[in-house]
Amino acid sequence: MGVLFYFGIFWPNTPSITQYPVRGIDVSHHQGDINWFKVSQQNYKFAYIKATEGDDFVDKSFTVNWQQAKDNGLIVGAYHFYSLRFTAISQAKNFIQTVPKELSLPPVVDLEFGGNSQVRPTIDEFQNELNIFLSTIAKHYNQKPLIYTTYEFYKHYLGSKYNDYQLWIRDIFFYPKSLNWTFWQYKNRGRVSGIKGYVDLNVFNGSLDSFSRLLVKP
């Protein structure tokens, strides 16, 4: 069972396509060159694309992925991997300088411990900085950001204080019953034609009509 799980042959999460018809992927430079035409020929409506990380890192594939995904009919959104090491305003500026202001899915801030700095601010320090990031992004794009997170990070730093933000939860083992979520990343070793390696798979919690209402013109 362990070998099958590792290679993505067996996976406990199989969200119903009837219940969750709006499906998508999230990508970064780690996926290499993507054939977006092939991706668009499958049952994927959206693509969230990594744009930035920290105060100065820009994903080298962002511009190409953003444009080609749009050109092939996918609805796109951008995400920022939030570093616990840098100030919120410097990270918000990095994202704003990178991501165009145009019709798209709401911007996302990726909050997780995995791959993050070993710096651990206090809860109050973190929330004060996060509030600056969220308000700066919302003001620039005229869209309230979504929060992507793991259970561990949510429990430690977020809790119920951010219940007015839409949530994108990572749960690669079970259905995320405990939280009110908008997006669910249910698999991190998915296989999609047009992408050579593994890719994250996601579903939207709602209909195509409700999904289309996420799009806001800046």
Q: In the chain, where are the structural domains located?
A: 2-212
Residues 106, 87: Cα–Cα separation, whole Å? 22
Confidence at residue 218, expressed as pLDDT on a 0 to 100 scale: 77
* 46 vs 118 pLDDT, higher one: 46
Residue 26 annotated among the catalytic residues of the structure:
yes
**Average pLDDT across the chain, whole number:** 93
Going by their DSSP bridges, the two strands 167-170 and 199-204 should be labelled as unpaired
Render the burial of 120-132: b for 16+ CB within 10 Å, e for the rest.
eeeeeebbebbee
Catalytic residue among 26, 59, 110, 171: 26
Residues 134, 146: Cα–Cα separation, whole Å? 9
Residue 112 annotated among the catalytic residues of the structure:
yes
What is the reported pTM? 0.93
Going by their DSSP bridges, the two strands 75-81 and 108-111 should be labelled as parallel
First to last CA, the chain: 48
Residues 163-183: tens digit of each pLDDT: 999 999 999 988 997 789 999
Catalytic residue among 33, 53, 112, 164: 112
Model confidence band, residue 11 (pLDDT cutoffs 50, 70, 90): low
Confidence at residue 8, expressed as pLDDT on a 0 to 100 scale: 43
Class of domain 2-212: alpha beta
Task: Dump strand ranges (E) for 54-194.
Answer: 57-58, 75-81, 108-111, 146-149, 167-170, 183-190
